[in-house]
Amino acid sequence: MENLTDQQQEWVDKAMQDSVIFQRQAWQESTLDSLAKVKADGVEVIYPDKKPFVEAVKPFHDSLRGTPVGDLISQIKAM
């Protein structure tokens, strides 16, 4: 990468950003399509209530606040 010109580096960065967006859209479409297929085949899909788990781990997450791991947890939650 360091051997590329500034313009070439910009092109590579733009291509990377575009490919990330494309991949996420393709993944989402594939996930929804697969889910529709298994439901159509009679599979019962259960969506568990996540709230009890979130509440159970809250004290642990709170104890990590201000640490590198706590910062990562915050970033993950923001997604």
Amino acid in the structure at residue 65: R
pLDDT (average), residues 28-33:
98
pLDDT category at 34 given cuts 50, 70, 90 is very high
pTM over 0.95: no
pLDDT (average), residues 25-49:
97
Q: In this predicted structure, what is the pLDDT of residue 73?
A: 94
Q: In this predicted structure, what is the pLDDT of residue 37?
A: 98
Backbone Cα Rg of the chain: 20
Calculate the average pLDDT of the chain.
96
Q: Which long-range contacts (CB under 8 A, 24 or more apart) does 43-49 make?
A: none
Q: In this predicted structure, what is the pLDDT of residue 13?
A: 97
Rounded distance, CA 51 to CA 69, Å? 22
Place of tokens 């947890």: 73
